Amino acid sequence: MNLKIASAQYPIRFHKSFSNWQNHTQKWVENAVKQDAQLLVFPEYGSMELVSLLSDEIRADIRWQVRVLNTFKDGFCSVYADLAKKYNITIVAPSFPVIEGNFIFNRAFVFSSKGLVGFQDKFFMTRFENEVWGIHSAPKKLTLFEGAWGSFGIQICYDVEFGLGSQLLCSAGASLIVSPSCTETIRGATRVHVGARARALENQCYVVVSQTVGNAAWSPAVDINYGFAAAYCTPDKNLPEEGIIASNSPQNEEWLMVDLDFDKIRNVRADGQVLNFKDIQNTHIGLISESVEIQKVSL
């Protein structure tokens, strides 16, 4: 079965009002829908553009802004829920720093025609998130999102540079991993894309990356952004020789549209030139200090 995916190269825009942001978001979604996209993937920390609605004083304080930003969470979710229902699509929204008790987690909400169906929190923190920004590593829970075409999981940015989450998700049934990302340098973007290609190879699956692009000088957290969207696979039978399905030129503000055939994934997992997915099941992967829980959610 095929699925058309739109992966965003998304700018961090300055908005004068919440309604201005809402109209901007709706136009992005409508643009993808007009191209027949069924699953839309936005990047990590794309929600930080809502900080533009706060005062200069709050925007200048990298930790304070996150706590005030949390007041927009319900409205943020409501906008994406309404769009997913209206167009009968699935949306992986830009990740949002959510406050739970004394902790702040980097969370990617997922919406379908049912509204909000679930989320995935980031496991591994970059040094900037941990040391400067105060974002915390989340409880080790993975969510497998199950649709009529198949199942997918989310590995946010730095997480896709580790085999743990993708392997567990694919072992549980995923044939697609999406990786919302936010990086400021070519080397940072490269690490994410190298990780994505490795995960596609190890698990004989598709991996789709979405990244932020452009500069936002008013934001101390996401002021510089470098990235591009891409879709990867394992290089095997009836799939691209180099494992690159498609990618856009860096820094353009646009959607990458890809049509993925999941029968090809099933075929290479069963009878590929190599059997990475089968063989990796014979390895043990986990965290030393914590167990990882997997929950399944129907789209």
- What is the extent of the structural domain holding 215? 2-298
Give the mean model confidence (pLDDT) for residues 284-297.
92
The number of distinct structural domains making up the chain is 1
- For residues 181 and 41, the answer to whether their CB atoms sit within 8 Å is no
- pTM summary value: 0.97
Element (H or E) spanning 97, and its range?
Answer: strand 96-100
Q: Is the pLDDT of residue 141 over 90?
A: yes
Query: What rounded mean pLDDT belongs to the chain?
Result: 96
Give the mean model confidence (pLDDT) for residues 265-285.
94
Domain of 118, CATH number, reads 3.60.110.10
What would the pLDDT profile of 20-79 be if each residue is shown by its tens digit? Answer: 999 999 999 999 999 999 999 999 999 999 999 999 998 988 899 999 999 999 999 999
Give the 3-state secondary structure of 225-279: ECCCCEEECCCCCCCCCCCEEEECCCCCCEEEEEEEEHHHHHHHHHHCCCCHHHH
Percent of the residues in the chain that have a pLDDT greater than 70, as a whole number: 100
- For residues 80 and 86, the answer to whether their CB atoms sit within 8 Å is no
The pLDDT of residue 284 is 87
What would the pLDDT profile of 178-200 be if each residue is shown by its tens digit? Answer: 999 999 999 999 999 999 999 99
